[in-house]
Amino acid sequence: MGVIGTLLLATAIAGVVGTGLGGLIGAMLQKDSNRTVSLLLSFAAGVMLSVVCFDLVTEAIETQVGIGVVIAAIAAGVAVIYLLNYWIDKHTNPEVPHIDANHPKTADDLDELIHSDHYKMHYARQDNKFSLFIAGVVMASAIALHNVPEGMTIGASYASSGGVLGSSALVLAVLIGLHNIPEGMAVSVPLISGGMSKPKAVLMTALSGVPTMVGALLGYLIGDIGLLGLALSLGFASGAMLYVVFGEILPQAVLMYHSKLPSFSVIVGMLVGLLIIFA
């Protein structure tokens, strides 16, 4: 199997299989535990932070293209994902009755974060197929905003190791796969409760992981064009992941489980990340 094939296989397992497994669990149980999901997400976020800050960003700096380029690439990653998220939320949140002035400024559950609540609402109201299609596109776009940068971190790390699936890329793939399990549960549960058949909901959930592969390919191709491309790829992917972690995953984890435990879970995740990187 070639370099690209190995990368796509790894990210397919992390994205499609991870999300699909979560969808299958959600279909069987038809419920999820906010406490479990919160702690799992915060732990994965902590490990991702260690890998991004102490590995990917360090590698970007070591390309010696200039610290200004690296900082600009990180800022661009944060800005692009934030603006796309803001645009989607601005145009879709008014459709959901409970998201009003009294609602937290960020999503307080995974189904809000990935907009599966919109699809459930349209399905329950038996809206026409076009409305369901648009709701599905919105949900796919929201999920892609998380999965594409996650895939880019794998692809950029893969490029930095010369097309070898090194420890950082492998750890990221495993972590993203674990992170996608609760996300898959959050996709399938509202779809099934809205009336969709279990097989169709699981299939739709699994397909929502495909953007991870797209992001990985993009991160690798940009990182493979030279030192400048590698710095840009590592920096942009790192910035995008930092926004996903600090702007989405951690606020949502705390809102899902009002406790100090998510914070401790992040710290444990960061320490585990350091152990993985430097052990």
Dig out the tokens for 191 from the structure: 């779809």
Q: What is the mean pLDDT of residues 130-142?
A: 71
pLDDT per residue over 81-119, tens digit each?
Answer: 888 888 877 777 777 776 777 777 666 666 676 676 777
* Per-residue pLDDT at 168 exceeds 70: no
Tell me if 279 is assigned to some domain. Answer: no
Tell me if 8 is assigned to some domain. Answer: yes
- The total number of structural domains in the chain stands at 1
Please say whether the beta carbons of 158 and 234 come within 8 A. Answer: no
Q: What is the mean pLDDT of residues 25-30?
A: 76
Across 90-124, b (16+ Cβ under 10 Å) vs e yields eebbeeeeebeeeeeeebbbbbbbbbbbbbbbbbe
Tell me if 277 is assigned to some domain. Answer: no
pLDDT band at 200 (very low <50, low <70, confident <90, very high): confident
Residue 106 gets which letter from DSSP? S
Backbone angles phi, psi at 103, to 5 degrees: -85, 145
Tell me if 217 is assigned to some domain. Answer: yes
- Nearest alpha carbon to residue 240 among 219, 223, 226, 217: 219
* Per-residue pLDDT at 30 exceeds 70: no
Tell me if 49 is assigned to some domain. Answer: yes
d(CA 264, CA 231): 32
Q: What is the mean pLDDT of residues 41-61?
A: 88
Tell me if 128 is assigned to some domain. Answer: yes
pLDDT per residue over 239-277, tens digit each?
Answer: 988 998 898 888 878 887 888 899 999 999 999 888 877
pLDDT the model gives residue 109: 66
Domain that holds residue 34: 3-100+107-270
